[in-house]
Structure 1
Amino acid sequence: MDDDSSRTGGTSDGHVISDWSGFDTPSVAIVMTVAAVRNRDPVRMQPLNDVIDVDALDTLLMTATSTVSLSFTYENVDVVVSSDGTVDVVQPSE
């Protein structure tokens, strides 16, 4: 993920919001956003497909005719991804 601040931004309540429309697929945006939040190399993270079916996730979000949201835990953060193009990652409390 590049440093385009229009794609990713933090909020004061521990959420990091990303716009997946700038990525090839929602699943790529999820991995890259979580990697940024966790300060981890995405290659060294658990494969997202171990947590959720990425083909089904991408297809559902990219073809939805109304707003659809999915939530799950990945790499110890809560992720909410929506067909409106947002990825919301809740950072762990310290």
Structure 2
Amino acid sequence: MVQWIYMTAGDKSEAEMLAKVLVEEGLAACVNIFSGARSFYMWEGRFEEGEEYVMIAKTTRAVFPRLRDRVVDLHSYECPCILALNVTDGHQPFMEWISGEVA
């Protein structure tokens, strides 16, 4: 099953590093990076806000545990945002390409 993995990073260089590692190691077929996200959240009892970069990785359910663990190992955040969303439908050739690209 194809999955979209929603993640965030605190700066452009970290987002680009994570994207390159995930694709080069066969953990994601593709990673999109979006700049300019503004995040508002509570952390350790305090209100926080800041700029973040949003990443969407295309992978499969089978590969997700390795992708998640790799991002946790490399990420600067103590508790990085990593959410797996199952893709229930899509352009079949594209979904097959994703499945063929990940290890």
In the superposition, the TM-score normalised over structure 2's length comes to: 0.28
**Which structure shows the bigger proportion of residues in strand conformation?**
2
* Larger RCO, structures 1/2 (Cα 8 Å, 6+ apart): 2
Structure number with greater Rg is 2
